[in-house]
Amino acid sequence: MPENAPLISPDQLRAALSEFATGVTIVTTRGTDGSAVGLTVNSFNAVSLTPPLILWSLDKSSRAISAFNENDCFAVHILAADQEALAMRFASRDVDRFAGLALAKGMGDIPLIPDTLACLQCRVHQRVEAGDHIIFIGWVTAVSRDESATPRAALGYHRRLFLSV
């Protein structure tokens, strides 16, 4: 911590960060036992176009942390505004998050969710420990997009509410 830095509580920081509107994604991988693993993430960002790098972060206490630490492949699914229920399902505990989804398989056998706005398949470029999170920097190896004639709005998140952007 920087010298003479004021102590900011997690609640203060969370309240301030809720003022920043973000997109909503689901990140998936495959566990070492072969199970599909996925969760809703809004800590997603572009890092670089050349080379093609993105990042997202995950709390070290997450039940999914071992799957993402042990697998070098993952996919980021950018959600459409009409996929709020899917975002909530992947944010919930103790539910079968993948039930009823016609999954495709990506590199490394990772599960790919159908009908999202975009999907970025990645190999881990770097894992960085930062506070209580791990930052996953992914090298994008494949991209798919919804190219339907009528573009759909993206799902956003602001002040603990979903919105259409």
98-147 per-position pLDDT tens digit: 999 999 999 999 999 999 999 999 999 999 999 999 999 999 999 999 98
pTM for this prediction: 0.94
Residue in 142, 146, 135, 140 with CA at minimum distance from that of residue 106: 142
CA distance 61 to 84: 25
Residue in 137, 113, 92 with CA at minimum distance from that of residue 27: 113
pLDDT confidence band for 150 (50 / 70 / 90): confident
CA distance 144 to 124: 18
What share of the chain has pLDDT > 70, as a percent?
Answer: 99
> Domain locations in the chain?
10-15+24-160
pLDDT at site 1: 64
CA distance 119 to 71: 18
pLDDT at site 32: 93
pLDDT at site 4: 78
pLDDT at site 141: 98
Average pLDDT value over all residues in the chain: 95
Q: What is the CATH number of domain 10-15+24-160?
A: 2.30.110.10
